[in-house]
Amino acid sequence: MMEKNEAMNMEANGANERPLETIFTELDEILVKMQDPEVTLEESFTLYETGMKDIRQCNVLLDQIEKKMLMLSKEGELTAFDGEES
């Protein structure tokens, strides 16, 4: 199982180049495929693994967005995140 640190390392290595909207679309497609009665159990497990990886990527990207939102100054400018309030 991949930890959050591993997901962040993937991001640092350029593995998270897909926008959230693309990942969401791919997750929707996975759900549709998994509901197909013709999909084998093995294919379902593969789809599940792919979906979980996509969800972890979404979580990393959403964390980044949240940090950026928290870093907005009163003037509406983006400031460096240092973990302290100004």
Domain ranges for the chain: 23-70
Sequence-distant (6+) residues with CB within 8 A of 78 are: 68, 71, 72
Q: What is the mean pLDDT of residues 66-72?
A: 76
Q: pLDDT (tens digit, 9 = 90+) per residue, 34-60?
A: 999 999 999 999 999 999 999 999 999
Residue 68 pLDDT exceeds 90: no
What separation in angstroms does the CA of 71 have from each of 10, 35, 62, 74, 80? Answer: 23, 41, 14, 10, 7
Q: Which two tokens stand for residue 76?
A: 């509406």
- pTM for the whole structure: 0.61
**Rounded Cα–Cα distance for residues 80 and 25 (Å):** 32
